A and B are shown apart, each in its own frame.
Chain A
Amino acid sequence: MPSSVVRTRPEDLAARLGVGGAAEQGDALLRVVREVKNQIIGNKTKKLRYLHLGAVPKIVSVLAAASQGGAGHGDAAVIVQAAAAIGSFACGVEDGVRAVLDSGALPHLTSILSHPEEKVVDAGARSLKMIFQSKLAPKYDVLQEKNLKFIFSLLDSDNENVTELAACIIAHSCERSEEQKALCDAGVLQKLVSLLGGSSNQKDACLNSIEAVVKYNPEVSSKFACIDYGKALKALTNLILDRRHPHTRFLACKCLIAVGQASPCHVEELQIKSKLVLVLVELLEEPGRVGDEVPFSLKTLIEDNEELHKQALSVNAVEKLCSFLHMSSINERRLQGLLIALAELSSKLEECRCQLISPQVLSLIIDALKHDRTDVRVAACYCIRNITRSLKNISAGCLSSEAVIVQFVQLLDDPSKLVQIAALSALCNIVVNGATRKSVLIRSEGVSRLVQLSKSMDSALRYVSVQVLRNLLFLADITDKECILKELTLSTLASLVYDSDCSIQEQALALLNNLMDGCDSIKHLFAEDNMILDAIMRQLKNSSSVGVCIQGMFVLCNIAARSELEKDSVMNFLVPSHEDSCNRSLAIKFLQSKENSLRVACLWCLVNLTNPNSGGLSRRVTRLRDAGIIFQLKSMLNDPCLDCKLRVRMILEQCTEFETTQG
């Protein structure tokens, strides 16, 4: 029997869609909608083509007309095909989601959820799920009672597509803690847990939803953990062991991690966390999204927990992560995750750092420093920063090649501030040891770039760059010190000591300390009208930051380790003559501090001022006595801090020796 030829060109089909005009009716319309649906499923190009032809609003009109036209069989078939086509447009193409939303599809799709025919409900629920998987979909305000009721009505459905939809809506809409609490108080978590026994898709949707409701919320997490005396936690723990469903295992891991983070007391047993480590390390081998996302979850789980780092190491996590780094076709997301996980693992354990310094692994991490993606460059920098927390590695010349240092210097000009900070952090460790490294940095214009960054408007950049300069000056030789100071200039140094941020003042003073230690750089303190010395003294007088005072006192200590002139300068400041009474109590004030390190710093200064090999000792001892400092020291003979107690004795012995000699 002859039949009409269905023209399948998108232009033709699009023209025949919709209501009225050239639009088809009845079975012909059904065929057209089905044909469009079949063409676009899994075909992004076709989706874009139909979008361009304005097909989405037309199909939404078809859906609207059909869903209002009664419950006849013909209508149902059209509704199913239209809903499926709309869902497909919303899947994987942002413009498609926008078009679907702009065409007002949501109310029509929602209304068909109460259609008497199951297949229509299925089609509507599937379509809505696709829409709610997009970030562009509107949030359901779960604080409104009617919305909460609606979600519950979906959760109570016998249709798994509908319950999955409810879980998707919750995962998509629940962001703020009050929303989490409202959902929790309404009993959503119990309902979701009861649905964990359903199909794999339903489980996954519920797990996503549970994670959204408990994340970062201690109260809700705690309630979740207590559901049916721990039944919910037990259900999750069982799911992470089910090897048949890697995606479900992973989502269950994420839920447990979220509960553990928000409410540590409920997932505190190392046993559960150890299991999680084991499962996540196993899941690293999964292809696709699960494998891509697992390293991020592993990092979250073990973050700052040395025991869990050891656990991960014991199940060969580092070898596994490194083996993926070696793969040639690794996507950006996975590469970032691998580097982040390796950075975390090498943050504390020397054993892990040692595993990463093999030339093969190191070269892959170094290559990642040049990656196009900012996230990957940042992760690679932090990985190297943590590897170089090992002084053993640094001293062995690990990462000391000129090429590596030059690469880091280039990253200081990266357009991303995050990369700049990460690169500075790595440099901070790399430059600690080794004259070669310091010289390379000076030669490669690294110092001039560091100095520029130390003047940045951004305090985070200023802070880390000053810290790199501080480490660069640690045990540097006099030539390098002079070279760095020439670039830095005294006025920049003074402005850093006066920085508005206390932590930067502290770093600047520590930098000065390293500059003054063991060489003639001390002369710079007195240059340009005592600019630097005045800055130090002013901060010591005025700062309320203990860190600033400690570093400032160590600078004075280094000055007081020099000749008479320098000792007297320090003495005049710390223990001024009677006429200048406003400063009188500074030494006493620091000696009476509750901070051990500040007392120690002040005591070392006094050890140097009472050094028996200095000519002006008599004058200084008398002044210390007159100012009540010897009395104060005697009261500290049993200082609770052993270091303080022994320095006090050292000073008093030096003073006594002097008096005995004089006597």
Chain B
Amino acid sequence: MPVRVVESSTPSQESGQDSHPGRPRPPFCSLLSPGRAFSGTQNVSSLQKDEAWKVNVRIQGVDLDHGYLCGTMEALNVPLADTPVVTFWEGELVDGSNYTFFTGKWEATPEDDIRHWSKFPSFAPLSSQVKSDGGKNMDLSNYPYIFMRWKEQYFVNVGIDCGLTIAGFYYVCFSFSDGSINGFYYDPNSSPFQKLELKCIPGGVAGYTFSSHQLL
């Protein structure tokens, strides 16, 4: 979700990618599949005022082999914006093979990483190992939470001169059991620890529905 521009920032080009094919990967989760929608809020409060924007997220694609997922994020009550603002984001799944807990780019140091991941209670059992090597050799294939980084790539329905920035990225934790998503927005130039809270939308009047696409 975009935030107000405070100051321009240039993301570092360093990559946190660490490719070790054949290593365990996060299991497929039917609640984190293309088409699945999530709804909730992002707290954008600052010292001056309390503020939360309503947020909708839709997963568009998942590629577990490459630790990749993508989707759209819609911010609904953005002040001064005429319409909901939609962005397209790409995600890195922390799987110990394609990506580790250390971001290695986007101006995030390992300390920033640990500080943000530690905000998730489900991170606690992994903390000590991650501090040593970023979770490089960690087998998360049976862990009931999926850790991700979501980075907004572009605005879908407004121009880049809309007065909003997508320079930062989200540390995200997805719960396998109920599909809830928690996240923290990180941008050195924005308010720290903006919390994203999303719940999985079942889709049916009394149950979960599923749809799917297949790229050729």
Which residues of A are interface residues toward B (Cβ below 8 A)? 385, 388-389, 391-392, 395-396, 425, 428-429, 432-433, 464, 467, 470-471, 473-475, 510, 513-514, 516-518, 554, 557-558, 560-563, 567, 596-597, 600, 604, 607-608, 611, 613-614, 641-643, 646-647, 649-650
CB-defined A-B contacts under 8 Å, sample of 6: A389-B215, A392-B70, A396-B88, A428-B214, A517-B209, A643-B29
Residue B84 at the chain A interface, CB threshold 8 Å: no
Q: Which residues of B contact A607 (CB under 8 A)?
A: 207-208
**Shortest beta-carbon distance, B21 to chain A, in Å?**
9
CB neighbours of B156 from chain A (8 A): 395-396
A429: nearest chain-B partner, CB-CB: B215
User: How extensive is the interface on chain B, given as a class?
Assistant: 35 or more
Interface SS majority for chain B: loop
A residues less than 8 Å from B70 (CB atoms):
391-392, 395
| Residues on A with beta carbons closer than 8 Å to the beta carbon of B72 | 395
- List the 3 shortest-distance A-B pairs measured between CB atoms, nearest first: A561-B204, A608-B207, A561-B207
Identity of the chain B residue whose Cβ is nearest the Cβ of A428 in the assembled complex = B216
Determine if A392 and B210 form an interchain contact, defined as CB atoms under 8 angstroms apart: no
Taking CB atoms, residues of chain B closer than 8 Å to A613 are 206
B60-A604 in contact (CB<8A): no
Cβ of B211 and Cβ of A396 under 8 Å apart? Answer: no
Taking CB atoms, residues of chain B closer than 8 Å to A518 are 203-204, 209, 211
Is B83's beta carbon under 8 Å from chain A?
no
Which partner residue on chain A sits nearest B177 by CB separation? A646
Q: How far is the CB of A113 from chain B (nearest CB, A)?
A: 54
- Whole-angstrom distance between the Cβ of A656 and the nearest chain B Cβ: 15
Contact of B27 among A385, A464, A642 (CB under 8 A): A642
Q: Which residues of B contact A471 (CB under 8 A)?
A: 213-214
List chain A residues, Cβ under 8 A from B30. Answer: 600, 604, 643, 647
B153 surroundings in chain A (CB, below 8 A): 392
**Distance between B200 CB and nearest chain A CB, rounded to angstroms:** 12
Residues of A close to B202: CB separation below 8 A? 561
Contact A557 B177 (CB under 8 A): no
* Per-position 1/0 for B179-212, Cβ under 8 A of A: 0000000000000000000000011111111111
In angstroms, Cα B151 to Cα A392, docked, is 12
Least CB distance, B86 to chain A, in whole angstroms: 9
Q: In the complex, what distance in Å separates the CA atom of A388 from the CA atom of B214?
A: 12
Residue in A467, A474, A650 with the greatest tally of chain B CB atoms within 10 Å: A474
Specify which of B58, B88, B204 is in contact with A608 (CB 8 Å cutoff): B204
Given contacts A600-B30, A642-B144, contact A649 B177 (CB under 8 A): yes
Q: Chain B 70-96, CB within 8 Å of chain A: the 1/0 string? A: 101000000000000000101000000
CB contact under 8 A between A561 and B214, given known A391-B60, A604-B30, A642-B27 = no
Bound-state CA distance A608–B30 (Å) is 14
Contacts of B216 in A (CB 8 A): 385, 389, 425, 428-429, 464, 467
Given contacts A429-B215, A475-B35, A643-B28, contact A392 B204 (CB under 8 A): no
Give chain B residues whose Cβ lies under 8 Å from the Cβ of A514. 211-213
| Contact partner, A642, options B58, B61, B176, B214, Cβ 8 Å | B176
By a CB distance below 8 angstroms, the chain B residues around A470 are 212-214
Q: A470-B214, A646-B177 are in contact. Are A557 and B206 (CB under 8 A)?
A: no
- Chain B residues within an 8 Å CB radius of A425: 216
Whether A475 pairs with B211 at a CB distance below 8 angstroms is yes
Distance (Å) between the CB of A434 and the closest chain B CB?
10
